[in-house]
Amino acid sequence: MKSIFNYLMVTVKGICMGAADVIPGVSGGTIAFMTGIYDTLVGSISSINTEAVRLLFTGKIGQFWKHINGNFLFSLIAGILISILSLAKLMQYLLNYHPIQTWAFFFGLIVASSIFILKGIDRWKVKDFIQLVFGIALGVVICTLSPTETPDGLWFIFISGAIAICAMILPGISGSFILLILGKYEYMMGIIADIVSGKGELMDFVTVIVFALGALIGIIAFSKFLHWLLEHYHRPTLLILAGFIIGSLVKVWPWSNMPDIVCSQFPEAEALMETAGSDTVIEMFSSQIDPHIWGAVVFALAGFLLVIGIETATNMIKKSRS
């Protein structure tokens, strides 16, 4: 009975991780650390190796399940999926009807996340500033040069899943933020929301399966490398990652996507864009657009304070364990 309760608690922690992973700027890895399962998570992922594959394909299912800590992983993944499926529709609604406030919230989250990463760096040297600036430049270049619309092909969905899952397991780095940079955050949230609401088509299910396969391959192939990188080059890795996050803020500036803002405030504009083009329609409605400045400020502060609260709780937990 005790073990069942323990795995139910793991599921609850998975729900918290899933909620974090849906929001760009909040790391599921941070939540895992806060709830005391990060080491178990990393160890379980690392155990998915050649020995696990050998046990699986020789029919030793019980030994395979025990080797990868299957009960733990199953409970955790179940919680993550419950959370993602529950929140996807809400996120789609917010992005469609309240884009300025939503992106402002994400902006605040990401600013706070980058600050806390940099806070862990002491005794700054010239090379540290160079690495940080390199990361910022990299983030700006990737976000400004990458197309607004990325391919919807299954090959790109697979790659997106592989990259996002690697970010998810690192404290301080958000998997959904990586999806945002890749231009697939709104796309995947929309597909999941359609499936949950019963509107999903066969291709939607195929897309989610391909994304999940990419995530599975990515976490097996890259997790060891990423943790090796942090273990051997912890300081430069954090600096470049922090710089990348700061530079990537150009992607989440609340007023950067004017077509979505116009469509959220004037529903009739969407049909006009298909015939007259987005630039023409934006110019037509430009004098009537409400920038929601104060709403954006409030939501940005809310996002900023949310990360501060999470990081403060994490530090308190660290001190209580030491």
pLDDT tens track for 277-313: 777 777 787 778 888 889 899 999 998 888 788 777 7
The residue ranking higher by pLDDT, 304 or 95, is 304
Residue 210's pLDDT band (cuts 50, 70, 90):
very high
35 occurs within a structural domain: yes
269 occurs within a structural domain: no
Residue 182, CA distances (Å) to 28, 149, 178, 217 in order: 18, 9, 6, 18
Q: What would the mean pLDDT of 231-260 be, rounded to a whole number? A: 80
Q: What would the mean pLDDT of 217-245 be, rounded to a whole number? A: 77
**Tens-digit pLDDT profile for residues 141-160:** 877 765 556 788 899 999 88
268 occurs within a structural domain: no
Length of the chain: 322
The residue ranking higher by pLDDT, 318 or 235, is 235
Structural domain count, the chain: 1
86 occurs within a structural domain: yes
CB 310 within 8 A of CB 30: yes
275 occurs within a structural domain: no
pTM attached to this predicted model: 0.70
pLDDT at residue 114, as a whole number: 80
Residue 68's pLDDT band (cuts 50, 70, 90):
confident
**Tens-digit pLDDT profile for residues 12-67:** 888 888 877 777 656 677 677 667 777 788 778 878 778 888 888 888 888 989 98
Q: Which domain holds residue 229?
A: 2-255+291-321
274 occurs within a structural domain: no
Give me the percent of the chain exceeding a pLDDT of 70: 89
Helices 202-232 and 154-168: angle between axes, nearest 10 degrees:
40
Q: What share of the chain is helix, strand, coil (3-state, %, to 5)?
A: 80, 0, 20
pLDDT at residue 173, as a whole number: 65
264 occurs within a structural domain: no
Number of H helices, E strands in the chain: 17, 0
